[in-house]
Structure 1
Amino acid sequence: MQASIHTFAEDGSGSALLDDGRLVSWPSEVFAGSALRHVRPGQRVSVEVDDSEGGDGTTVTRLWIVGIGEGETIR
């Protein structure tokens, strides 16, 4: 799903607003695995959230920009 960056901390943690208005966040480990170096408020990204049974639906488990990183094709 698509989201817009809301906050980004020096340690790599941050938050984003989904297109439906929900606020989601990620720990620094998720950003470290993204192949990204920096994101800025307002920037559009793709995210996956933990919506499994027991998940709260507000924790990002994967963060990426289409075309950046291993296995991503530039469109």
Structure 2
Amino acid sequence: MQGTVYSFETESREGVVLLDDGSPVSFDAAAFDAGGMRFLRPGQRVRMNVEGDRVTLVTLYTLADPMR
């Protein structure tokens, strides 16, 4: 699943991603930490892994992303 970062809180490491249809998807610190990133900015493109109704991983999306 892919989307665009709408908001990100540095201290809590939680945020919201907007899917291409405009639907918001929240992620928690555990999903952010699993991606190994340090920071996100609004407007960045990300890839998310979802299990059930929970985001488990957030990583930066690149054109060379093998999971596309």
TM over 0.5: yes
TM-score tier, shorter chain, comes to 0.7 to 0.9
Give the Å deviation of 1:33: 1.3
| Residue type of the alignment partner of 1:6 | Y
Gaps of 5+ in 2: none
The match for 1:41 is 42
Distance in 2 between the 1:23 and 1:32 partners?
Answer: 20
CA RMSD, Structure 1 to Structure 2 (Å):
1.8
Q: Secondary structure at the match of 1:31?
A: helix
Tell me the residue number matched to 1:70: none
1:60 partnered with 2:61: no
Report the equivalent of 2:13.
12
Q: Note the C-alpha offset of 1:48.
A: 2.1
How many correspondences in the alignment? 63
- Using the size of structure 2 for normalisation, the TM-score is 0.77
Structure 1 length-normalised TM = 0.71
Distance (whole Å) between structure 2 residues aligned to residue 64 and residue 18 of structure 1 = 14
* Greater strand proportion: 2
Amino acid at match of 2:59: W
**How far did residue 49 of structure 1 move?**
2.5
CA distance in 1, matches of 2:18, 2:39: 17
